[in-house]
Amino acid sequence: GCMVNGKLYPFGHIERTQDCYTCSCREDGLRCCSLFHTPVGYDKNKCKVVFNRKRCDYDVVQKDDPSKECFVFSRV
């Protein structure tokens, strides 16, 4: 198997690790891709980025009222 951040996964496809990656575990190594995209285009003065581990994605919310989402116009 393959070790990912201290957790052993069996050989094969790993749908989702606890750190929000999808991986391929093979005898010749481990290859992973993130399941999330980092927001880069949003109002940085009014909004902040918070990682949502349940959804494996970033939420962009208002700094003064985190219950309200902000518009994001680009992610990488």
pTM confidence score: 0.74
Kindly list the structural domains of the chain, giving each domain's residue range(s) and its CATH number in brackets, ordered by start.
Answer: 2-34 (no CATH), 39-75 (2.20.25.590)
Residue corresponding to tokens 């070790």? 3
pLDDT in tens, 25-49: 999 999 999 999 999 999 999 999 9
pLDDT in tens, 62-71: 999 999 999 9
For residue 44, give Cα distances in angstroms to 22, 51, 66, 68: 29, 16, 14, 15
